[in-house]
Structure 1
Amino acid sequence: GDLADPEALAAALGSWCSSFSLTMAISGQDHTPWGWLAILGSSLLAGLTAWLILHHLLRRFLAPRGHAASGRQFSLAALCACLGLSVTFLAMQIGFILYSSLSSVAEAFFTAGLVFLSRALTLFASGPDSAPRTFTRWPLWFLFCLGLLLQVQEIPDVLATPVIALAQLGAAFLVRKRGRAAETRLDAALSLCCSLLLPVLAVLTLSGYGRAAILATSVLFYAVLSVRLSMAVVLIAGRLRKRHAESATPPLRLAILSVLGFPLIFLTILYLTLLLGSNQFEATDLFLDMLASEVRFEYFRVSAKRVLAVIFAFYLTKMAIAVSRSFLRIHGQALTGARGDGGGTIHSLSTIAGYFWWAVFVLCALFLVGFSPTGLAVVAGGLSVGIGFGLQNIVNNFISGLILLFGRAVERGDVIQLGGELAVVRRVNIRNTVVQTKDNVTIFVPNSELISGRLVNLSHKDRAVRREVAVGVAYGSHLDLVRRLLLRSASESARILETPPPSVVFTDFGPSALEYRLRVWITEPEDAVAILSGVRERIDALFREHGVEIAFPQTDMHLRSAPALKPLLDNAPAARPAGRNTPGDPD
C-alpha cells in the first residue's frame, strides 16, 4: 500500500533525509574541516603505504614463479584489506555517531578482499588456465553490501523493499545466465543453488520479511564465499602434499597437511565468516548464544557448538594419528633397523597408537556432548549384555588382535603357515588379520584363531630359515665329488646365504640310491619354492657335466620256479641291469 501511495513515499523519504542531515550536522561539530581532512588523509596514507609494501612483496614472491595472475588478485585483496583498516581507523577517530556507517563501509571492503582472496587462491592452486570461473560471489557481495547499507542507514522499508527485491531478482538472472558456462560441478551447483534461492528471497522480501531476507542473503553470501575459500585451500594443500611426497620433506609436515580436508577447512572458514558477518546486525552475542543453545536429552546434551567441537576433535585425532605414525616411521627405523624387523614393529606400534588416539577421541566426544556418569553406566550395562549374547566373537577377536599387536607374535610382512600353504601377513586389523598367498589370494583370518590355535611363523624376529634339497645318486658314485658339486650349486645361487654356510648330509643308503640332503639358508621363505627350483636346476646341470648319475627306483626279480620259461632263459644271453656297465664292457 505504501508503494502505491506517493504521499506516504514522499513522507518517508523526507523523514529519512532529515534524519540523515541531522546526523551529519552533529558529527561535523566534533572536528573542523581541516581536522576532518587531516584524519581522512592520515588514514588513507597509512592504508596505501601498507598496500604498497604488500604489493611489492607479492610481486617479488609470485612473479618469478609464474603466478602473475594470482599475484594481481592477491594485490587487490591486500588493497581492499588496507582500505578496510583505514576506514576502521577513521571510524574510531570520528566518533560514535558515524561509527556504524563507517564500520559497514569497512566491512564491505573486507568482504571484497575475501572475494579477491578466494579467486587468488584458486588461481594459485590450479593455474590461470584451469581455474574455475564462477559468477556467484560478486552478485552476492553486491546484495550483501546493499543490505548492509539499507540496514545501517535505516532507510525506510517502503524504499528498501523494492530495491532489495529487484536486486535479488537481477542477481539471480545474472547468476543463472553465467552459470551455464560453469567449468566444474561445484560451480554449476553453486550457480543453480543461488539462482533458485534468490527469487525465493525476493518473494520473501516483498511479503514483508525484508530484514529476514537480507539476513538470509548475507548468510548465503558467506556460505558461498566459505565454499570457494575452502576449495581453494584444499587444492593448495593437495599440491603441497604432492610436492612434499615427491621430495625429501619431513614426514611430520606431510602428516599435518594430510588431514586438511574440506569439512575441517569449510567449517573453520564458515564459522569465522559468520562471526564477522554477525557484526553487520550487531548480533555477535546472539550468534554465539545460538551456537551455545542446547537440546537436552536424558543422558546427554547437543548444541551446534558441541557438534563443531566433536568435528574438530575428530580431525585433531586424525592429525595426531598421522603425526604419531610419522614419528614412529622416522625414529622407529633408527631404533629397530639393526635387528632387521623394524617394519613390522613400526606397523604394530602405529596400529596401537591409532587405537589409543581413537579411544581418546571417543572419551572426549562423550565429554563434549555432556554424557553423564549415569548415562555411561547405562551404556556400559548395555554393552555388557550385548557382549554376552551377540558381540562375544567380535570382542574376542578385538582382544586377540591387541594380544597379537602387543605380543608381536604376528607382524606385517611375516610369513606364516596357514592351512598347509605359506601366506604373507599384510595387516593386523581390529577384528582380523589379512594375509596374502602366493596365488595372490587374500584371506581374512579371525584374530582369535591365531591366538587359540598353533601358529607357525617362519620369519618371526629373524627371516633366515633353513631349507633342504633331497637328491639321490647311483651306487658307486664318487662321494666327495657329489658333496663338492652340491655345495657348488648352492654357492652359485645369489639368493642363498653364505652365513650360515650351506652343508651336505649323507642321510641314508636307499633301496636304489645314495641319499643326500643339501641344506641351505634363505631370507625369503615366501619364495622358497622358486629359490630351491633354481638350485635343483643347477644340481642337474653340474651332475650331467661331471658324469654323476641321479638314481631312479630299480627292482631285481629272481625267478625260483618257472618250468615253462626255462628253455627260453637257457637260450637267452646273459641279462644285466639297464644303464649299468660292468668292467671291460664297451660303452
Structure 2
Amino acid sequence: MRFSAASAAALFLACLLCLAFPARSDEMEVPPESLAAEQPVQDQDIAVREALDSLLDAQRAQLTEIFSLSQKMGRDINAMTGAFRKNITLLQQEFQKVSALSQTAAGNPALLAFLTEQLQRILEKINTHLVPILSDMETLRQKKQALDILEKSLSSYADPEEHRRMETLLGNASRNISILLERMENAAAPAREIAEKAEQRVNALMLSMPSMWKDYYLESSGHFYDLAEWGQDIRAMSSFRETLSVHASTALPSSLRDWLNALARMASAFVLLLLAAWTLRGAARRSLPAGARPGVERVLRNSFLWIALGISLHFSAWADGRMFQMLASAGTMFLCWGELALAWDLYDMDRPERRLLTPLWPLFPPLIAGMLLLIFDPFPHFICVAWLVVQVIDLWRAHRRPLPPETPQRTALRLHHWQRWITLIISLAGFARLSILINMFLTACLSTSMLCLAIVRVNKLIESRMPQSGMTAVMAGLAAALILPLVFLAVVSATALWMLAYPGGGFVLQHVASLGFSVGGFSLNAMQVLSILIAFYLAKTLIAVGNTFMAGMTSQFSSLPPTLLLPFQTIYRYLLWAVFGLYALKAMGFNLSSLSMIAGGLSVGIGIGLQNVVQNFTSGLLVIFSRSIREGDVVETGGVLGVVKKINIRSTVLQTYDNATIFVPNSSFLGGTFTNWTHNNRRVRKDITVGVAYGSDVRECMEIMLGIAREHPKVLLRPEPSVLFTEFGASSLDLRLFFWVRDYDDSLTASSDIRLKINDAFAERGIEISFPQMDVHMRGDNRLLLEKAPDGAEG
C-alpha cells in the first residue's frame, strides 16, 4: 500500500485534532461537572491514535512488499538478463549480416526491398524482447518513488526500535532496486543501440528506394551481346544462392507457424467465397428466368473459382502489417487469369454452351514469364535474353495462331501483337525490365477494357429482359445507373493489384501518383487529377440518376404535377455541380475560407457588372417556383404568341406557330404583362362575328349558327355554344357566336370550319351576309337647274 496524498492528509488532520484538544495538567483540579464534558474529547483522541496506528501499519506492509519484490527480482535477474543477452546477440549477428548485404546490394532495389523487410522484422523482434525488461524497469522506478515517499514519513514512528527497523528495511529495498535498475539498463543498452541502428538503416533505405526503383526500370540493364558484361554477371552468380535464400526468407513465411497461419487465412477466405457463390447460385435459380441461369452457373464454376483463389492467396499474403511477396504474386497470377476468363464468361453470358477457354489466353504466358523474371532477378543479361526468347516465341505462335471470330477479342489480340513488337524493340535497346513493366501495364489495360465491354454487354442483356414501364422499370434503371459506375471503378482499380505484385510496384504507383506540375504556389499531381475525374464522373452519374428517378416518380404518381419536374431537376443539377466545384477546388489545394473572403469582396463588383444576369437568374427561379408559366403553355408577350418549350434560369424559350424560336428574358415575365392562354387548362373560348343584311330573319340565323357549332366534333357541349345579337350596325345586323374548344391548338381550325359551314348554310337559305355599302337615290322632282350666264355687255 503506497503512502499517498490521502494518507498524508489523514495524518495532518490527526495533528490538528491533537492541537485542538491539548492535555490538561494533573495538578489542575477539575470540577466534577467538567468530567462529563471531557468524555467526547477523550473519544476523539482514541480515534486519532487508531487512525495513526492503521496508517503506520499500511506503510509497514507496503515497505515489506517492496522489499520482498526486490529480493524476488534479484533472484531472477541473472536468468532473465542471460536469456535476453543471448537473444539480442543472435539478433545482432543477423542485423550485421543483413546490413552487410544491404551495403553490397546498393544497385539492386529488389534485394534491398527484401533486406529492408528483414531489417524491419529484426527491429520488431528486438522491440518484442525489450518490452518485458522495460516493463520491469518501469515497475522498479515506480517502487523507487514509493520508497522516497515512505522515507519522508519515517519521522512519524515514535518507537525508536521500530524506527530503526523500518529505516534499515527501506535502505535495503532502495539499494536492491538501484542495483536491479543498473543491471537491467546495462542489459538493455546493446539492444537499444541495435534497434536505433536498424531504424536508421531502414529509414535511409526507404528514403532512397523510390529513386532506386526508378533507375531499376528506366536505366539500361545491359546488352546481351556485350561479352565483358556477361563475364561480370557470371562471376556474380556465386552470390545468387544467398540472395535467393534472403529473398525467400522475406517473400515467403519463414516458420511452420507462419505457413500454418497463411494456409488458415487462405482456406477461410476461400471457403467464405465458395459459400457466397453457392448462395448466389441458389438465388439465381430462384429468381432468374430459365434462359439466364446457365450463364450465371458458367461464371460461378469457371472464372469465379480462379478469382476466389487469387483473392484467398492475397488475403493469406498479408500478416501483421507485412506482405509475403511471392504469395501476393501467386495471387495476382490467379487474379489475372480469372479476370481474363471473367471477361469471356460475361461476354458469352447468353451463349453458355460455348467453350470455356477465353480467346485472350495468349496474353497470359508472357505476363507470367515477365513476373517470374522480375521476382527472381538472377542478373540483368539473363533477364534480357530470357525475355527476348519469350517475346520471339510469342510472336511466332501469334503468327501461326488464327484470330477469333469475335470482333472485340480479335481487336484485342491485334493490339497485343503490335504491343509485342514495341516491347521487343525496347528489349533490344537494353531496357528489358522496362519492357516487362510496359507489357504488364498494357496487358492489364486490355484485360480491363474487355471486362468493361463485357459488363456493358451484360447490362444491355439485363435491360432487354426487364419491364419497360412501371415502377419496377424505374427502380431497375436507377439501380443499374448507381451500380454500373461503381463496378467500372472497381474493375479499373483492380489494375493496381497487378502493379503491387511486381517488384517495386508500390513505389512505381507512388511515383506515378506524385507526377504533376507546379505553377507558383499551385500544384497538381496525378492523384488529384484522378480524384477530380472520378468526382466529375460520379456527379454526372448522380445527376442522370436523379433526373431519371424524378421523371419516373412524376410519371408513376398522378398526384405529382409534371410541371414541378423541371424546377427540381434544375436545382438538383446546380447543387451537385456546386458541390463538385467546391471539391475540385479543395482537391487542387485552394483554401475555401480564403475563397469565401475573395468571393465576398468580388460579389459587389460582380453584382453591378452582371446586374441583368442576376436579375434574370432570380426571375427564372421565381418563374419556375411560382408556376405562372410551364412547359407547353401557350403564352403571348410583347406581341409574340408561342408555345413554351423550355424554362431556363436566364431565359424562356418560345416556339411560334411559324416555327421561330424566341428567347424571352425571364425578367420580362415579372416586370411586364403577358397572357397565358393555357395556364389553367388547354380549353379556350373562341368567338365568330357574322353580320347579316337588314330584313333577314335573325332568329333563324341564330339557330343555324348554334346548330353548326354543336355539330362540330372539336366544340365542347359543356359549356354550351351561344349566339348573341350584339348590335345594329351601319350596314348589318351583327350576330356573335361563342363556343369552347377542347385544345388551344384546335381553335384556329375549328373556327375556320365553322365559318365555312355558316357561309354555306346562309347561301342555301338565301340569307345575305352583309358587307359595308352605300346606296345613292336620285329623286325626279328635284332637277338641277342650270342657268346660263349672260353675255358680257358691249363696251
Give the TM-score taking structure 1 as reference length. 0.75
Q: Provide the rounded CA distance (Å) in 1 between the counterparts of 2:622 and 2:637.
A: 19
Counterpart in 2 of 1:254?
477
Q: 1:8 to 1:41 in 2, by over 3 A?
A: same
CA shift, 1:109, in A, is: 0.9
Counterpart in 1 of 2:703?
484
1:138 pairs with 2:357: no
1:221 pairs with 2:443: yes
Q: Provide the rounded CA distance (Å) in 1 between the counterparts of 2:264 and 2:671.
A: 83
1:105 pairs with 2:334: no
Q: Provide the rounded CA distance (Å) in 1 between the counterparts of 2:682 and 2:420.
A: 68
Structure 2, unpaired ranges of 5+: 1-222, 785-795
Counterpart in 2 of 1:426?
645
DSSP-derived class of the 2:777 partner: coil
Q: Provide the rounded CA distance (Å) in 2 between the counterparts of 1:402 and 1:25.
A: 69
CA contact (8 A) 1:74 1:120 kept: no
Q: Provide the rounded CA distance (Å) in 2 between the counterparts of 1:470 and 1:179.
A: 84
Counterpart in 1 of 2:714?
495
Structure 1, unpaired ranges of 5+: 566-587
1:310 aligned to which of 523, 532, 536: 532
1:122 pairs with 2:347: yes
CA contact (8 A) 2:270 2:309 kept: no
CA shift, 1:529, in A, is: 0.7
Q: What amino acid is aligned across from residue 474 of structure 1 in structure 2?
A: A
- 1:150-208 C-alpha deviation (Å, 9 max, x unpaired): 22233333322222233345546766887988865x76775565444433333333444
1:321 aligned to which of 531, 543, 548: 543
Q: What amino acid is aligned across from residue 444 of structure 2 in structure 1?
A: Y
Q: What amino acid is aligned across from residue 211 of structure 1 in structure 2?
A: R
Q: Provide the rounded CA distance (Å) in 2 between the counterparts of 1:326 and 1:490.
A: 44
CA contact (8 A) 2:388 2:424 kept: yes
CA shift, 1:117, in A, is: 1.0
1:460 pairs with 2:659: no
CA shift, 1:113, in A, is: 0.6
User: How many pairs were matched up?
Assistant: 552
Q: Provide the rounded CA distance (Å) in 2 between the counterparts of 1:52 and 1:337.
A: 44
CA contact (8 A) 2:683 2:741 kept: yes
- The farther-off stretch of 403-412 and 370-379 is 370-379
CA shift, 1:564, in A, is: 11
Q: 1:449 to 1:29 in 2, by over 3 A?
A: closer
1:271 pairs with 2:496: no
DSSP-derived class of the 2:349 partner: helix
Counterpart in 1 of 2:377?
154
1:556 pairs with 2:781: no
Work out the percentage of aligned pairs sharing the same amino acid: 28
Q: Give me the CA root mean square deviation.
A: 4.9
Counterpart in 2 of 1:445?
664
1:76 pairs with 2:307: no
CA contact (8 A) 2:325 2:501 kept: no
Q: Provide the rounded CA distance (Å) in 2 between the counterparts of 1:143 and 1:412.
A: 61
- 1:247-283 C-alpha deviation (Å, 9 max, x unpaired): 3334254245457788x86555322322453243364
CA contact (8 A) 2:684 2:747 kept: no
Q: What amino acid is aligned across from residue 158 of structure 1 in structure 2?
A: H
CA shift, 1:369, in A, is: 2.3
Q: 1:243 to 1:482 in 2, by over 3 A?
A: farther
Q: Which has the higher helix share?
A: 2
- 1:370-389 C-alpha deviation (Å, 9 max, x unpaired): 32244565577678767756
CA contact (8 A) 1:227 1:266 kept: no
Q: What amino acid is aligned across from residue 688 of structure 2 in structure 1?
A: V
DSSP-derived class of the 2:302 partner: helix
Counterpart in 1 of 2:35?
none
CA shift, 1:108, in A, is: 0.7
Counterpart in 2 of 1:581?
none
Q: Provide the rounded CA distance (Å) in 1 between the counterparts of 2:461 and 2:273.
A: 33
DSSP-derived class of the 1:314 partner: helix
1:365 pairs with 2:591: no
CA contact (8 A) 1:176 1:192 kept: no
Q: Provide the rounded CA distance (Å) in 2 between the counterparts of 1:63 and 1:334.
A: 26
Q: 1:347 to 1:494 in 2, by over 3 A?
A: farther
CA contact (8 A) 2:616 2:649 kept: yes
1:344 pairs with 2:566: no
Q: Provide the rounded CA distance (Å) in 2 between the counterparts of 1:169 and 1:392.
A: 70
1:527 pairs with 2:527: no
Q: Provide the rounded CA distance (Å) in 2 between the counterparts of 1:60 and 1:491.
A: 63
Counterpart in 1 of 2:726?
507
Q: Provide the rounded CA distance (Å) in 1 between the counterparts of 2:510 and 2:265.
A: 34
CA shift, 1:449, in A, is: 4.7
1:408 pairs with 2:632: no
Greater Rg by CA: 2
